[in-house]
Chains A and B, each alone.
Chain A
Amino acid sequence: MHKDLRGTHLSKKAFDNNEISTTLGDPHAYYEWDTGMGIGRFLQGLKEGRIWGTHCDTCKRTVTPPRVFCELCFSKNITWRELKTTGTVNTFSLCYVNWDATLIKEPHISAVIEVDGTSPRVGFLHLLNEVDPQKVCIGMKVEAVFKDEKERMGDITDIKYWRPL
């Protein structure tokens, strides 16, 4: 609990001691989403330290994460393209609030990165690190930092974060 916040605070102790009437709920909702052809190949690429995109030969547009059909022209006129693991910060935010609404000192830095080789304003949402938060700027050149090969799972977090070039 952050002392600067206004209002009447409810404590964990009050909940634990049943001083506040509540009903505890656990959705127990578990999923295993089929990644499909597009995202499946993309995730396999990350495991190999590569970033895949797709090019719509009709719209002349390259996107990542890739998709096997173009949502604009609605065709399957798609070519796979391996992209570079570098890019440019398109936009970013310094996140000072934790899951439980407590404040944190060192912010998480979320950013949309235009991966080199994609069409303008086609981004890739991820995190920045190894950078002074106050020095992050739109237009900053960055590179992907992958996990060690043995640790990769075919997951978006196989890229640990992006850092300035």
Chain B
Amino acid sequence: MSKNVAIVGVGFTQPQLKTVQVSYKEMVYEAAVKAYDNAHLASHKDIDGFVGCAEDLIEGTSIFDEYTPDQLGAVQKPVHTISGDLLHGLLVATMKIKTGIMDIVVVEAHSKASNLKTYYHVTNYALDPTWNRPLNVNPYYLAGLEKNYFMHHTKTTLEQIAGVVVKNKKNALQNDLAVFPEQTTVEKVLQSKPNFTPQTEAETAKQADGAFVFVLANEETAKKLSKKPVWITGMGWASDSPTLETRNWDEALYAKTSAHMALKQAHIKNIKEIDFFEIDDRFAYKELQHLESIGLYGKGKAGQALQNGDLNKDGKTPTNVSGGMLGCGSLLEAAGAIRALEVVKQLRGEAGQRQLSKANTALALSWRGIPTTSGAVLTFSRSLS
């Protein structure tokens, strides 16, 4: 059994609001060719298996996994698709390699959000058909419900949550991949249009298109292919009960459980040892809720940490240096790809002007979005201990 697994190659297209010039297949092909080159693969034929991350209703094609092979060079190879975020895909690929059956596995995720004209309706289709869906209200109200409860029970303030937007959009100014960078202020965020009160438009990540491909390999292969392999040291994933009526709104239990599992596997006793964090922030309050849930801050303490500057690029616990989803965009199942990509760039020392002075270890967290209670946490390291 292969003990260690690393990311050895990444490829991606420039995220954009619309990508009318290419089909999703052509977009993924570009990302795949770049990833295989980045991984120094001699041929796509060297790849043993493929994992796609896609949701049928979002793509508009049933059994979407059937449409994965061509653009990845995966024809007549083991391929399977998961209905989950790219971080889930990375951990699935890692498990495949750890079985010893495969040396090199590719993970793909993309967003053609611009092609889905009724995103909210498709999201509503994820609610229970008998007692939730017939209420026929835009399901993003769930963010409003959760934020309200979170604020009430943690005493987190609107100003603190607005500060997440200011920080992440500012970070995005230094990221070429970011679609929504902006120099903004807490006052402007607070004055933005309410969409699902207490949630506002400025605090809600906007969608973008893009494709991402990651190449993973076992230790022996990784060391041959890459001078800077990024090691996956811990993985965790969990789903809470789906019911809206019984869930815990102030704490993301999926994040708590996933983080516990990943940290244990990575032999990290204190989460504060980790150098930086890339966290789902599709709604601004989620960044703070997630940071508290993974145990980086106590209940109700993340907002204060933000105001102290601890989450800044030069703070004690840099969070979403990439710009997060608020700055880079919400890319459906590829949302976690922005995070994993940032981890790879930082750990390789290739993050340019936003390169952190200390970037040896990282933690990335994905949430599958409304209305789910599913998430995944991965920890990474630039070296093997």
Contact B70 A71, beta carbon cutoff 8 Å: yes
Q: How far is the CA of A31 from the CA of B60 in the complex (A)?
A: 7
| Least Cβ–Cβ distance between B57 and chain A, in angstroms | 6
Given contacts A28-B121, A31-B115, contact A72 B134 (CB under 8 A): no
| A39 located at the interface, meaning its Cβ lies under 8 Å from any Cβ of chain B in the complex | yes
Q: How far is the CA of A40 from the CA of B25 in the complex (A)?
A: 13
A8-60 residues with Cβ-Cβ distance < 8 A to B are: 23, 25, 27-40
A140: which B residues are within 8 A, CB to CB? none
B116: which A residues are within 8 A, CB to CB? 29-31
Contact B57 A27, beta carbon cutoff 8 Å: yes
A71: which B residues are within 8 A, CB to CB? 69-71, 73, 75
Given contacts A27-B121, A28-B121, A39-B23, contact A34 B129 (CB under 8 A): no
Contact B73 A32, beta carbon cutoff 8 Å: no
**The residue from A29, A38, A74 contacting B23, defined by CB atoms under 8 A apart:** A38
| Least Cβ–Cβ distance between A72 and chain B, in angstroms | 6
Given contacts A27-B121, A32-B117, A71-B75, contact A37 B60 (CB under 8 A): no
Given contacts A23-B134, A27-B121, A27-B125, contact A36 B115 (CB under 8 A): no
A74: which B residues are within 8 A, CB to CB? 33, 44, 73
| A68 located at the interface, meaning its Cβ lies under 8 Å from any Cβ of chain B in the complex | yes
Closest to B131 in A: A23
| A80 located at the interface, meaning its Cβ lies under 8 Å from any Cβ of chain B in the complex | no
- The total number of A-B Cβ pairs within 8 Å is 75
Given contacts A34-B22, A34-B112, contact A29 B75 (CB under 8 A): no
Which range contains the number of B residues in contact with the other chain?
A: 20 to 34
A37: which B residues are within 8 A, CB to CB? 21-23, 26
B121: which A residues are within 8 A, CB to CB? 27-29
| B118 located at the interface, meaning its Cβ lies under 8 Å from any Cβ of chain A in the complex | yes
Contact A33 B122, beta carbon cutoff 8 Å: no
B98: which A residues are within 8 A, CB to CB? none
| Least Cβ–Cβ distance between B247 and chain A, in angstroms | 22
B339-384 residues with Cβ-Cβ distance < 8 A to A are: none
Interface majority SS (helix, strand, loop, mixed), chain A: loop
Q: How far is the CA of A30 from the CA of B118 in the complex (A)?
A: 6
| A69 located at the interface, meaning its Cβ lies under 8 Å from any Cβ of chain B in the complex | yes
A40: which B residues are within 8 A, CB to CB? 23
Contact B122 A27, beta carbon cutoff 8 Å: yes
B129: which A residues are within 8 A, CB to CB? 23, 25
Q: How far is the CA of A28 from the CA of B122 in the complex (A)?
A: 7
B9-64 residues with Cβ-Cβ distance < 8 A to A are: 19-26, 29, 33, 44, 57, 60
Q: How far is the CA of A23 from the CA of B57 in the complex (A)?
A: 20
| B301 located at the interface, meaning its Cβ lies under 8 Å from any Cβ of chain A in the complex | no
| A67 located at the interface, meaning its Cβ lies under 8 Å from any Cβ of chain B in the complex | yes
B70: which A residues are within 8 A, CB to CB? 67, 71
| Least Cβ–Cβ distance between A138 and chain B, in angstroms | 25
B23: which A residues are within 8 A, CB to CB? 33-40
Closest to A39 in B: B23
Q: How far is the CA of A124 from the CA of B24 in the complex (A)?
A: 21
Contact B21 A29, beta carbon cutoff 8 Å: no
A25: which B residues are within 8 A, CB to CB? 125, 129, 133
- Further pairs besides A23-B133, A31-B60, A33-B23: 6, Cβ < 8 Å: A29-B60, A29-B121, A29-B125, A30-B118, A34-B20, A72-B75
Interface positions of B (Cβ within 8 A of A)? 19-26, 29, 33, 44, 57, 60, 69-71, 73, 75, 112, 114-118, 121-122, 125, 129-130, 133-134
